[in-house]
Structure 1
Amino acid sequence: MDNVNLAPENNGATQEHGYLMAYDKKEQKAKGVKGIAANGELETLEANEADKGQFIKVDQRGNFFTNFGKNFLYHYNNPRRYSLYNIPKETPVEQAKEKIEAAQLPQNEAVRKELASTRVYNNHRYNEREINWEQAARYGITPDVLKNSKDSLERMLQGKSSAVAFHIAKPSELGRESGDAKLSLFRDENGVVKFDIHYIRQAPKVGEDYRGYTLTEADLKTLNQTGNLGKTVDMVIDYRTKETKPCYLSKDPVTNELFHMPVEQARVPRKVKDYTLSPSEYEAALRGEEVPIRFKSNNGNYYTTSIQMSAAERGVEFLWERSTKKLEEGQKQEQQQNSNGEQQVNGLVQTAGKPLNKEEASRQAEKKTRTRKPTITPKM
């Protein structure tokens, strides 16, 4: 099998800081990472000192000594199969292998914390090359359509649904289907990446069962307000075994679809922008609660909002206008800076809390009318 060229770059003064190892979740063992094969699969070697020289080297900034550079993480298929680790060069390979494999066991929390700083994360659950774009194009789905719709393709590769809903019309066995829906990606039983269509549906009702959890009136009020339940609840994660685990619960504000995510999959950051969470705030975020923060943006302005764990976003999200809590100090300063909750920025009105991005500024400046949803229709 021909390999993609992964020869070390000539970086001059850049020095090797570590080497790359991976935990193969399928084979349940730690391996050294050699590169990427031509078919997009990660190339690995047995974890032993003799093969260490063939492992991908990592510099002190965390960059890989490959011709892919920082984009290495986006060039291999099945990113969810592996957990990557940047191991210090002085650490013996066998020792690293032992620790990585031990960290996968539930009882070894101390080992996981020790290796936390060495983890190399890839936010993509799917690789763009895995998508059958030729087939998708027959239904009007192209990379450009998704990229130009608030960067929906990037969200979908991360395992999230598209940022906007599309108007979809397609024939089916019963006749013709038509409706507004968001798109996401999934793997079928053969591991093939396909599109999942999330049509807009009726809002959940009081007493409705979702994976063994019965929704209450208070639950729906919270879900409608912030999009998240604000706590963890036990849910069925495997209908075959009836296994339940503590999960986060969220609702998509456009499609009304409910999403769940096991707490054990949560990655709560200790620092958001320039705001460092206190131990109590970190624990609150881990419990799924809304945590108010105040941070300084790149333009020098301070903003107050809240963060919360979202099952729909597969991680922590900013609530912005959905915030129900704010830091008291941040509120006082915000009131002084922004009278009546608004602020003039180069002639543009900026709502207190959420900074204007270029798209919003342009939309306000030109006073454009709202455009229709992108339409996806099959090409006959």
Structure 2
Amino acid sequence: MEETAQNGADEIKPVSDTLLVLSKDTNKIEMVKGVDKDGNLQKFPPNEMQESGQLIRVDKHGDLFSNFFSNFYRQLKNPSHFNFFKVSEYDAVNTAKDLQQYVDQASLEEKEKLKEYEVLPKNTNPSKNQNTMENNTETQEYRFQPEQIDWKTMEKFGLNQEKLEKLNAMDPLLRGFKTNTLIPITINLGTAVSKMDVRLSLQTADNGEVAVNLHGIRKEPNYNLKFLGHEFTDEDKKNLKESGNMGRVVDLVNPKTDEIIPSVISRDRLTNELVAYRAEYMKIPDEIKGIQLDEHQKQTLLEGKPLYLEGMTSTKGTTFDATVQFNADKRYVEFIFDNNQKLQHSQSQKEDSSQNQSQDQNKNSEPPRVFRDKELDDKQYEKFKAGETVYVSGLVDSKGKEYQGYITFNKETAKTDFSFTNPNKLKEKAQPSEAHKTQKAVNTDGKTNESTKNIKEPLQSKQQEPANKQQQEQQKKPARSRGRKM
């Protein structure tokens, strides 16, 4: 039976739940009021409850509360600084006082037991450290719902919900991210039809409606232009070209409000679009693949700088070393491997995702437009998409030297095969020589010629006429043709 409280003579009002928060910095238990526009937690002491009367109230039903808390948690600037507890609104003040008394007297082990009662956002496993690198991506509830998407606009691009789901594009879109891969779209302009590959994202417009953003491929960013008020140095350009991350926090200017926003900048490696991310929203994990980060290491990452870590353990149990750095496009700390290293370990989100994809999904994957930072032109891409071998020049190795080769898209593995020599030429070299053509034509292709048409046994290597007396006798006798005449 649902818990209720009497409110007046006839009105029965359902009892709601609310949140208490333990601030790790101050060790204080307080009432939760909300989150301000900058992501700061609004709270007040329990003894001010009568004066405030503005505590959060949420329906007690599990799904409603879970969805609310996931969205609430996502808006917080530093959620890892707090522990949240769900209590009934009518018991909130007394529970807060009792909990404060417990915290004041509790040992470290006793404080750890509080985690059993802590509220966590959806999809977070309480048995694991939610600040490890594996769980450092946005695991909270979706920012958008499918019905909010402008499907009429999507149809103009040749897309619908079913196709986006097959391309594994719906999940990142609904979470407020760009699609993980390039999506092929068609734009019908009436007089002409244009086809291109883009990354998609959703954004809430000023009128409250959800708009579809297209992130097209460009050859490279224009580093000579100011980016949101920032002028790139030679070092900035070098870092963005090589690692994809600029490597420092800079002040950017919001063009709508003129607000100065400290941010990190990265290059989208699929589209070459420059992406900025507020420094205050950066979340740095406590642990990366078994390595506990100290405060100095965390500060290095918070400043946007690269950090080299040794002795990490991959999901397969092997030890590896790599550089890690915060990426503004991905919004998390990523691995940056040296080009000479074998990529035995990929970023954990990508690794888990690729292991879960079936061969059928691979077959439906679209070939990439960019290979090793080299964008294919329309003619090359059409041949490449059709499974033909394409010659590509102007590729650059890790030492800055140019090289060229041939690429073919393998539809079975959804990967690009590269060769320094034309694989079609190798096939041509594998064709039978003149001396072997008769043998191949008769034994393999089912053809005949006048010199061997009555011989019953398969022809031997390089054989073009009867090889012995028995075959000579067979050849003299008339017999039914066993194939097409050569």
Common fold by TM > 0.5: yes
How far apart are 1:247 and its partner, in Å? Answer: 1.2
1:188 pairs with 2:205: yes
How far apart are 1:227 and its partner, in Å? Answer: 1.2
- Could you tell me which runs of 5 or more consecutive residues in structure 2 were left unpaired when the two chains were aligned: 4-16, 22-31, 98-117, 122-137, 370-486
Q: Flag the 1:194–1:297 CA change in 2: closer, same or farther, 3 A.
A: same
Deviations 1:317-362 (A, max 9, x none): 32243x58xxxxxxxxxxxxxxx955xxxxxxxx333379477579
Match of 1:352 among 335, 344, 363: 344
Residue number in structure 2 paired with 1:231: 248
Does the Cα contact within 8 Å between 2:18 and 2:58 map onto a contact in 1? no
CA distance in 2, matches of 1:25, 1:179: 40
How far apart are 1:52 and its partner, in Å? Answer: 7.9
1:86 pairs with 2:84: yes
- Could you tell me which runs of 5 or more consecutive residues in structure 1 were left unpaired when the two chains were aligned: 1-5, 8-15, 33-45, 58-64, 97-116, 325-339, 343-350, 376-380
Residue number in structure 2 paired with 1:246: 262
1:66 pairs with 2:62: yes
Does the Cα contact within 8 Å between 2:150 and 2:210 map onto a contact in 1? no
Deviations 1:32-51 (A, max 9, x none): 9xxxxxxxxxxxxx998989
CA distance in 2, matches of 1:137, 1:272: 39
Output aligned runs, 1:97-108, within 5 Å. none
Which letter does structure 2 place at the counterpart of 1:145? K
Higher strand share goes to which structure?
1
How far apart are 1:162 and its partner, in Å? Answer: 0.9
Residue number in structure 2 paired with 1:330: none
Does the Cα contact within 8 Å between 1:181 and 1:199 map onto a contact in 2? yes
Which letter does structure 1 place at the counterpart of 2:93? P
1:305 pairs with 2:322: yes
Q: Flag the 1:88–1:71 CA change in 2: closer, same or farther, 3 A.
A: closer
Does the Cα contact within 8 Å between 2:199 and 2:215 map onto a contact in 1? yes
Does the Cα contact within 8 Å between 2:314 and 2:345 map onto a contact in 1? no
1:372 pairs with 2:388: no
- Percent of aligned pairs with the same amino acid: 18
How far apart are 1:284 and its partner, in Å? Answer: 0.0
Does the Cα contact within 8 Å between 2:18 and 2:92 map onto a contact in 1? no
Which letter does structure 2 place at the counterpart of 1:229? M
Matched position secondary structure for 1:289:
coil
CA distance in 2, matches of 1:53, 1:365: 48
Residue number in structure 2 paired with 1:155: 172
How far apart are 1:233 and its partner, in Å? Answer: 1.4
CA distance in 1, matches of 2:119, 2:354: 38
CA distance in 2, matches of 1:248, 1:271: 21
Which letter does structure 1 place at the counterpart of 2:233? T
User: TM-score with structure 1 length normalisation?
Assistant: 0.60
1:257 pairs with 2:273: yes
Does the Cα contact within 8 Å between 2:264 and 2:277 map onto a contact in 1? yes
Residue number in structure 2 paired with 1:141: 159
Matched position secondary structure for 1:213:
coil
Does the Cα contact within 8 Å between 1:22 and 1:30 map onto a contact in 2? yes
Does the Cα contact within 8 Å between 1:19 and 1:56 map onto a contact in 2? no
Does the Cα contact within 8 Å between 1:167 and 1:374 map onto a contact in 2? no
* Bigger Cα Rg: 2
CA distance in 2, matches of 1:221, 1:166: 29
Does the Cα contact within 8 Å between 1:30 and 1:47 map onto a contact in 2? no
CA distance in 1, matches of 2:319, 2:329: 27
CA distance in 1, matches of 2:364, 2:139: 35
Matched position secondary structure for 2:262:
strand
CA RMSD of superposed structures (Å): 4.9
Does the Cα contact within 8 Å between 2:77 and 2:280 map onto a contact in 1? no
Q: Flag the 1:164–1:128 CA change in 2: closer, same or farther, 3 A.
A: same
CA distance in 1, matches of 2:56, 2:76: 24
How far apart are 1:372 and its partner, in Å? Answer: 2.9
Deviations 1:271-323 (A, max 9, x none): 2343211111001000001123343344323333332122112x2232243x5
Matched position secondary structure for 1:207:
coil
CA distance in 2, matches of 1:193, 1:309: 28
Q: Flag the 1:295–1:178 CA change in 2: closer, same or farther, 3 A.
A: same
Residue number in structure 1 paired with 2:284: 268
Taking CA–CA contacts closer than 8 Å with sequence separation of 6 or more, which of the two structures ends up with the larger relative contact order? 1
Does the Cα contact within 8 Å between 2:20 and 2:96 map onto a contact in 1? no
Query: How many residues are aligned here?
Result: 294
How far apart are 1:256 and its partner, in Å? Answer: 1.0
Which letter does structure 2 place at the counterpart of 1:187? T
CA distance in 1, matches of 2:238, 2:267: 11
Matched position secondary structure for 2:297:
helix
Does the Cα contact within 8 Å between 1:23 and 1:83 map onto a contact in 2? no
Residue number in structure 2 paired with 1:346: none
Which letter does structure 2 place at the counterpart of 1:194? A
Deviations 1:3-31 (A, max 9, x none): xxx99xxxxxxxx9965846153699959
1:296 pairs with 2:310: no
Does the Cα contact within 8 Å between 1:19 and 1:55 map onto a contact in 2? no
Q: Flag the 1:181–1:78 CA change in 2: closer, same or farther, 3 A.
A: farther
Matched position secondary structure for 2:62:
coil
Deviations 1:114-157 (A, max 9, x none): xxx988586457222452364355244334433433x3322223
